[in-house]
Each structure stands twice: as structure tokens, then as C-alpha cells.
Amino acid sequence: MTLSYDELRALDARHVWHPFTQAGTAKPSILALGAKGATIYAADGREYLDMVSSWWVNLHGHANPAIAQAVADQAGRLEQVIFADFTHEPAARLAHRVCKRLPEDLNRVFYSDDGSTAVEVALKLAHQYWRNRGQHRSTYIAFEGGYHGDTAGAMSAGHSSGYFEAWKEMLFPVETVPFPATWDGDQDVEAKELAALDALDMLFSTNPDHVAAVIIEPLIQGASGMRMCRPNFLRKLEAKVREHGSLLILDEVMTGFGRTGEIFACVKSGITPDLICLSKGLTGGFLPLSMTVARDGIFEAFLGQDLSKAFLHGHSYTANPIGCAAGLASIDLLEAPSCLERIKAIEAIHRRRLDGLKGLSNVAHTRLTGTVAALDVIGGGKGYEAVVGPKMKAAFLERGLLLRPLGNVLYLLPPYCIGDGELERAWDGVEEVLRHLAK
């Protein structure tokens, strides 16, 4: 039985609960029929350029034929197998391929399903690492404005606006230090970095031998507004964590797989974490999959003759073979020289178009790292509650652009397959809307 467009929308409205949505006031969802490259085709005949890579996951375009083929082949061969006692080729090969691109010591992959669970695993591993070594370390340090996901541990480590208010009694306390967010022409960056490092020092000295780990989104804090810091700060942060004998967790759920212009933000910054969380781009945007990669030394602390030191954690779909096959196909595409060239081309267009907006009275704090461009829009409020956000979103949708401002922060984070012409068209739309708002 085929259903009409209206019938499908009615079913959705009756039965489906959408994330981050106030169903009481939300407009009916746009019904996507298909997508190709950077374009999403809606049932009402409209087309949308996906300028947010569908929540930052898509790298090589929707319905990429190479990944689609790998998924189909794997689904016909081995769709899923229990991941205790068993393993499979895509899991072993994908772990190897990712580890080859990470700093040398990071060699042990623990698979899970999404960004939140990758972070949850990292927090639990850090805790048990110390326990296995006979120490009780329960203090975690995170950065103001950080977002690490929506499960309880990830929310505890996060510090994102009022979004977690409803569950604050469920969460465990985490110490926070300022994030030295910077932008084009920022004169205060050194002072902000020093203040962050001083705050860190203070926490280490008031909790000697108690800090299990420091967690950070390296180079770009995503959900809190594409706030960017310098590689130099990350190097100083790593040195500080080493000096105090704690662990460093990098949450590269968003920044991984080329987003920052390098394969990983840690590679771009020249640092080696103890644990790194990867997801989103891992499968090129096809399937939910994630990994938490640990240094060899962390893994070794879990070895023993019985279960007491083992990591007793897992998920039903751990290391799903179809997801891993998608991951392998995506990495093949990512490693092709043409992909790197696209990333560079996107960055160059972003730079030129951002610079072109600097004269507008309602534009501030332009910033760019790799394929992520962002700016603050002045007027219409600040933060997630800013009224200018939904207003801009509606204006962009009217122009066939899928852009979701984070409050008053406007950002472009396209899939790498986007053509120069498509990207210029998106920036034209951005410029038009900003000029209109500035009047």
C-alpha cells in the first residue's frame, strides 16, 4: 500500500517523537524522499543543500555509491554477529586502518554505537584504569561550554547551556575550566589560554592524585557554538596533564575524519591523548558506529587472570559488521588525494566568503578551522535562546539551504563532496540573509 505525502506526515505526527524538538509548537517535519551528494530531496518537490552534513556525520555525500555498495555487500554476507567470542573482518580491518592514522601509541579500539557511548566508554575506562592500578580517582575536569553527548556520563562531562537542566540531579559532579575560544583578529587569546591553564593547575593542586582525566573537544567545541581554540593551547594542555600524571581524553566525535583539515585534530595539533572518541564521520554518515581508542598502556592495565580487571561493558550491536564495512569504504574515499583537495578547496572558499562578511554590522567573531566556518550574529539575542536562530533557519530553508544556527551562531559544515558552485550558492544565501537582518 502506498501512502500519500499527507498520510505519511500524519503518521509521523501521530507516532514519532523527534529529538531536540518541542512537538507542541514545531512545524510538521520535512519529509525526505531521497538524497544525493550534498542535496536532500523532499516529498513536496523542494531541494535542500545539506550545509550541516546531517548533524555533522556526512563526509562524501548522501547515497555515495561506493559506501552504499560496501553496505549492501556486507549485509548479504554477515549482517551482525555477537562480538564476544567472535570477531569479523570489517571490525579488525577498520580498527587497523584508524589506528594507522592516529598517533603511534593509540592501538586499542573499543567499539560502540554513537558519540555519546564512545564518551561514556572513555570516562568508564579512565575510572577503571586507575582502580586497576590501585588508585581511587573520581575527579574529572572538562571545559566550559563542552558538549559530549546525551547519556548520563556524557551529560555530566558536558556543560552545554540549559539543555541538561531537567536531569541535573542524575549527573555526577565534574570540575570545569574556561575554554580559550578565539576568532579572527582576537587580541586576548594568550591571556585566555593562560587563564585556562592556571585554572587547570589550581584544580590539579586542590585534588592531588584524584583527577582521573581531563576531557576536551580539541580545536572546535561543536554544540556550544563552534568555539575554536589554537593547536598551541592543546599542546600546553597535554603537557599540563602529563606534568600532573593524569589522563587526557579527546572527544573527536565531530572533529575526526578530516573536519579540521587534517585527519584528526590531535594530528593537526601534534598531541597524543590517552583515549580518543570517534564517531559521526567514521562511517561517512551511513550508519551509527563509534570507537574509543586507547593507548597500549591503558589496555595493559586491564589484563589479568580473571574478570576482576576486565572492562565489563558492551552493547548488543558492538562493532556491527555493516557499520564497519561502511567505515572501511569511507576511509578509502577519505584517503584519496581528491578528497584532501576538496577539503582544502572548501576551506579556501570559507575563508574568502567569511572575510567578505566582516564589514557587516551584525557579524562578529568570524572563525574557521578546516571545513567548519562560523560567526556570531549580533542582535536578536545570544546563546541557544536567541530569537535570531530560528528566524535565520526559516529564511535559509526558504532558500533551499539546510543550515541550523546554534542560537546566534551561524556555521557552515558541508560534506566534502560539495561542489564549489554549491558552496558559493550557500554563502550567497547566508550573505543575503545577514544583509537583510542588518537593515
The reply to whether 254 sits near ligand PLP by the rule CB under 6 A is: yes
Q: Which of residues 222-251 bind ligand PLP (CB under 6 A)?
A: 222-223, 251
Residue appearing with cell numbers 578530516: 258
Nearest Cα to Cα of residue 200 among 214, 217, 220? 214
List the one residue from 37, 115, 225, 327 that touches ligand PLP (CB under 6 A): 115
Binding span for ligand PLP by CB under 6 A among 104-112, 215-223, 379-387, 404-412: 215-223
The reply to whether 217 sits near ligand PLP by the rule CB under 6 A is: yes
**Is 62 exposed, middle or buried, given 0-12, 13-18 or 19+ CB atoms closer than 10 A?**
buried
Q: Which is nearer to ligand PLP, 253 or 357 (CB)?
A: 253
Q: Is residue 244 annotated as involved in ligand binding? A: no
Q: Is residue 41 annotated as involved in ligand binding? A: no
Largest interatomic CA distance in the chain = 71
C-alpha 14/C-alpha 418 separation (Å) is 35
Instruction: Name the residue with the smallest CB distance to ligand PLP.
Output: 115
Q: Which is nearer to ligand PLP, 111 or 427 (CB)?
A: 111
Q: Is residue 435 annotated as involved in ligand binding? A: no
Nearest Cα to Cα of residue 311 among 298, 296, 327? 298
Q: Which is nearer to ligand PLP, 61 or 222 (CB)?
A: 222
Q: Is residue 316 annotated as involved in ligand binding? A: yes
Q: Which is nearer to ligand PLP, 254 or 357 (CB)?
A: 254
Q: Is residue 53 annotated as involved in ligand binding? A: no
C-alpha 401/C-alpha 299 separation (Å) is 45
C-alpha 290/C-alpha 292 separation (Å) is 7
Q: Is residue 55 annotated as involved in ligand binding? A: yes
Q: Which of residues 123-152 bind ligand PLP (CB under 6 A)?
A: 147-149
Q: Which of residues 149-208 bind ligand PLP (CB under 6 A)?
A: 149
The one-letter amino acid code at 86 reads F
Buried b (16+ CB within 10 A) or exposed e, 264-281: bbbebbebbbbbbbbbbb
Pairing assessment for the beta strands 47-50 and 401-402 based on DSSP bridges: parallel
C-alpha 438/C-alpha 13 separation (Å) is 36
Instruction: Write the interaction track for ligand PLP spanning residues 287-306; mark x where CB under 6 A is met and - where it is not.
Output: --------------------
* Total residues interacting with ligand PLP, rule: CB under 6 A: 14
C-alpha 23/C-alpha 202 separation (Å) is 44
The reply to whether 253 sits near ligand PLP by the rule CB under 6 A is: yes
Site of interaction with ligand PLP (CB under 6 A):
114-116, 119, 147-149, 217, 222-223, 251, 253-254, 279
Q: Which residues are annotated as a binding site?
A: 55, 115-116, 147, 251, 280, 314-316, 404
